[in-house]
């Protein structure tokens, strides 16, 4: 019985092997070859004997040395490159300017200083009056200009005298000119120092001037008269405004008196100023004294007789009447 069972088992085993081999051959696999496990079927991989890598790791035979794994050689770290430095720009040397030799200036002659003036334009004194009287003796000046004021007319006479007598033409009186004048003329008399002035041409008084205290100014005769209760006390030549700024006409009153007046607008002195209409005033004019009727004013009444106007300034009062008219 026992021998029959063994024979049956052996026959079954042979048959099983034959069947498996046929199946494998039919599937295209060589006999005894293993199919690669399907990685998508995790259950087959877990239970299939071929999926266990431990069972199929070949054991090295005796006498064969196991392959030595190459261990990576440790390399020394590469040194980091030093940051490159920007080379400094070498400054270009500034060329030293060549000193140019300037030619030495030619020595110039020092101008001779002008002689000191004893009398010049603008001066007012008794010595100037004497100068004018001496110039009149020599026919360089008319008696009209003997008034003690050194104006442009007196300067013109001095120029002429200096040129005639070989003196430096200065236009003012220095010591040499004064010495020469005293040698060529005589000492003036009182009448020569104070010659009678030609009376200003006058016309009839305006009726407004015949009562009270009135500064009566006639444009027709270019004269000013100081009239008190119809009596004429002073008479003097006057000059009026230019055509572009004519002196106003009418009846006014003295509203202010300024002994040493000055015009800031025109940068001009206005001695003995007596204001009667706005900025218009009766006052002394050095230009009128020097040039006569060759000039005109900015509207004021110019007087050239210093002494007569000084007397009028002392007598006239604020509120006194001023009449400007044509006769």
Q: Which residue has the tokens 């020097």?
A: 290
Is 253 among the catalytic positions? no
3 catalytic per annotation: no
Collapsing DSSP to helix, strand or coil, 47 comes out as helix
Q: Cα(158)–Cα(135) distance, rounded to whole angstroms?
A: 8
Q: Which residues contact 310 (CB under 8 A, 6 or more apart)?
A: 272
Q: Rg of the chain's alpha carbons, rounded to an integer?
A: 68
Token pair recorded at residue 206: 């305006």
Of 136, 209, 216, 283, which residue is the catalytic one? 283
Please state the φ and ψ torsions of residue 249, each to the nearest 5 degrees: -115, 150
Q: Would you list the DSSP string of 139-207?
A: TSS-GGG-SSB--HHHHHHHHHHHHHTT----SSB-HHHHHHHHHHS----HHHHSPPPPPPP--PPPG
The gap from C-alpha 59 to its chain's centroid, in whole angstroms, comes to: 109
For residue 271, give every residue at least 6 positions away whose Cβ sits within 8 Å of its Cβ, in sequence order, or none. Answer: 259, 260, 261, 283, 284, 306, 309
209, 216, 296, 300: the catalytic one is 300
CA distance 312 to 322: 13
Residues that are catalytic: 283, 300
């Amino acid at each position: 019985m026992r021998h029959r069972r063994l024979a049956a088992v052996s026959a079954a085993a042979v048959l099983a092997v034959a069947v498996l081999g046929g199946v494998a051959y039919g599937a295209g696999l060589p006999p005894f070859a293993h199919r690669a496990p399907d990685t998508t079927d995790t259950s087959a991989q877990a239970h299939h004997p071929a999926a266990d890598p431990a069972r199929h790791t070949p054991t090295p035979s005796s006498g064969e040395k196991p392959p030595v794994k190459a261990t990576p050689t440790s390399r020394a770290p590469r040194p980091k490159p030093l940051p490159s430095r920007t080379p400094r720009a070498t400054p270009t040397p500034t060329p030293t300017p060549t000193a140019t030799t300037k030619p030495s200036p030619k020595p110039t002659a020092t101008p001779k200083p002008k002689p000191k003036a004893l009398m010049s334009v603008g001066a007012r004194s008794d010595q100037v009056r004497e100068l004018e009287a001496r110039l009149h003796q020599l026919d360089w000046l008319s008696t009209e200009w003997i008034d003690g004021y050194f104006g442009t007319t007196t300067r013109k006479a001095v120029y002429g005298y200096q040129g005639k007598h070989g003196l430096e033409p200065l236009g003012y009186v220095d010591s040499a000119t004064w010495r020469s004048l005293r040698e060529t003329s005589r000492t003036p008399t009182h009448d020569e120092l104070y010659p009678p002035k030609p009376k200003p041409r006058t016309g009839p008084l305006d009726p407004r001037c015949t009562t009270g205290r009135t500064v009566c100014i006639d444009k027709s005769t270019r004269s000013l008269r100081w009239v008190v209760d119809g009596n004429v006390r002073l008479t003097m030549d006057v000059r009026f405004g230019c055509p572009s700024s004519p002196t106003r006409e009418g009846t006014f009153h003295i509203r202010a008196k300024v002994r040493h007046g000055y015009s800031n607008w025109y940068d001009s002195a206005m001695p003995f100023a007596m204001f009667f209409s706005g900025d218009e005033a009766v006052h002394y004019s050095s230009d009128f004294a020097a040039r006569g009727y060759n000039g005109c004013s900015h509207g004021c009444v110019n007087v050239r007789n210093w002494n007569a106007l000084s007397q009028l300034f002392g007598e006239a009062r604020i509120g006194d009447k001023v009449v400007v008219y044509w006769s």
